[in-house]
Amino acid sequence: MLPDQLLPSGKAFSGLQPGICGLVGVLLAAMLTVGSCSTMPEPSYPPHQDHRFDASFLIGDVGKLPFLVTSTNVVLHRLELDPKPDDELFGGDARWFVYPPGTTVKVRGALRAYATHDGKIPSLKDLLQTSAARMTSLITF
């Protein structure tokens, strides 16, 4: 029946019976009351340090620039390399960007470093330092 049609008894059809409306209202009020009694814990994050940086590396004889990957201790948010690498290799807890030896590579990025098991947050220089390519400059923002 349509809402504006009359029932054979002469009453208008409302769609819900009066007892159901009252029950729905009571259940809704009960749910709101229960939800207001619970509390949420304060949001917290493990100790960390955010870094934005520009760095330059001189590629060594190996022809690869090893670089961080996201792990439990580091989250790499952004990474830009200039010039673009000839290739990119992944393995273990690093990735390698392949360049001709002697190339100067400018790296711009952002990362978050978390405290290690000893509770210390590694410095950006320690995170980026590599023996395969010499870091010639490091600027942080």
User: How far is 140 from 55, CA to CA, in rounded Å?
Assistant: 9
Query: What is residue 39's predicted lDDT score, i.e. its pLDDT?
Result: 74
Give the helix/strand (H/E) hosting 83. Answer: none
Q: How many residues does the chain have?
A: 141
Give the tens place of pLDDT for each residue, 109-141. 999 999 999 999 999 999 999 999 999 999 999
Per-residue pLDDT, 8:
62
Terminal-to-terminal C-alpha distance of the chain: 69
Percent of the chain with pLDDT over 90: 60
In the chain, DSSP finds a helix count (H) and a strand count (E) of 2, 7
**pLDDT tens, position by position, 46-78:** 999 999 999 999 999 999 999 999 999 999 999
In the chain the beta strands, taken as DSSP E runs, fall at 48-59, 64-68, 74-82, 87-91, 94-98, 104-114, 133-140
In the numeric block, the tokens 């709101």 are attached to 32
Read off the pLDDT band of 42 (50, 70, 90): confident
Instruction: Read off the pLDDT of each residue in 70-99 and give the average, rounded to a whole number.
Output: 94
